Amino acid sequence: MAVTIKDVEHVAMLARLEFDEAKKQQLVKDLNAMLAYIDKLNEIDTTSVEPLVQVGGAPGALRDDEARPSPPQDDMMQNAPERSGPLFKVPKVIGER
């Protein structure tokens, strides 16, 4: 199924976009090239390929999780733009407009 100018115009109307004729022609060409590539991928036999949940292994699988002491509180607070004693001070965001 090839993409036509009418298809591009319909999607542009739904997305509230406007394109000149040259851009529409380019979009038709690009979308058809993408669909042709997908068709080519669909020709590949993948029946013997196991489905992957994640590429590259599970995150954190390279090391064991071990407890370590936290850095000193003063070190953690040294880059705080504002603080109130041992707490970070942030602007109020709830209840204001």
The domain limits of the chain are: 5-42
pLDDT digits (tens, 9 = 90+) for 43-70: 999 999 888 877 766 665 677 788 999 9
- Tally of CB atoms within 10 A around 18: 10
96 vs 26, residue with greater confidence: 26
- Tally of CB atoms within 10 A around 30: 12
Give the three-class secondary structure for 56.
Answer: coil
β-bridge partners, 88: 83
β-bridge partners, 84: 87
pLDDT score for 59 = 63
What distance lies between CA 51 and its chain's CA centroid? 21
**Phi then psi dihedrals of residue 83, to 5 deg:** -150, 160
